[in-house]
Amino acid sequence: MLQSNLYQFGSTPFAMSALSDIYPSTKHISDKARRLEQEGRIIRLKKGLYVRSAEDGAEPMAELVANHLYGPSYVSMLSALRHYGLIPERVYATQSLTIKHSRSFDTPLGRYDYFSCGVNYFPIGVSQHYETRTQFLIASPEKALCDLLVKTRNLEFDSSNILLDYLENDLRFNTDALKKMDSGILRQCYENATTRQNNIAILIKLVENE
């Protein structure tokens, strides 16, 4: 079986202009993109940005799509916690942080939410995750939890016991992971967060007392 011309993109999102390289004889590349979309071979994520579909042999990854859909950004909050297996429930939207304005996108692959943060806070506890010949930016468990505590509306804690109850009963978070958390990352987040620093302070207390 011959490989698709689109094979070289793998599961990485690509711009419409990239189609010109694999279909050089096509004069109107926008028409070609429209036909490929109608055939179900590619998925339009937003204007000018596509990803190969499962019908073309690809397996689009939510985390990789999130990085490309709006950036610079990294996957975090409930999405990262779910990725690490720290919460059991599936997440209905892929959550990320960005240094740009907060935005949301509804795509054929699902909803993607982006929360704005400061440039100094952004890189703390973020790294490249390598998986199946691709890579994407994702928060560490520590950073993901801090992001959740500072970016979730109306989430305020007065004590470590109340925070622990929230983790155990609302999130069903694997609290054994608290013992392994790097308090240094938490402290960096506290020092650079611009909202709800008290939530992080209580998390630090909870982690260091575990």
pLDDT tens digits for 132-174? Answer: 778 899 999 999 999 999 999 999 999 999 999 999 999 999 9
What count of other Cβ atoms lies within 10 Å of the Cβ of residue 86? 21
Q: Is the pLDDT of residue 210 over 70?
A: no
The arithmetic mean of pLDDT across residues 2-25, rounded, is 82
Q: Residue 3: pLDDT above 70? A: no
Tens digit of each residue's pLDDT (9 = 90 or more) over 56-87:
888 889 999 999 999 999 999 999 999 999 99
111: tokens are 């909803």
Q: Give the pLDDT score at 93.
A: 96
Residue 5 pLDDT more than 90? no
Residue 208, pLDDT > 80, answer yes
What are the tens digits of pLDDT across the range 84-132? 999 998 899 999 999 999 999 999 999 999 999 999 999 999 999 887 7
> Can you tell me the distance from the alpha carbon of 85 to that of 79, in angstroms, rounded to the nearest whole number?
10
Confidence (pLDDT) at 26:
78
> What pLDDT shows up at residue 1?
34
Residue partners of 159: CB distance under 8 A and separation at least 6: 202
* Cα distances (Å, whole numbers) of residue 68 to 46, 147, 167: 11, 20, 30
Sheet strands side by side (includes 134-139)? 103-107, 110-116, 93-98, 73-75, 134-139, 126-131
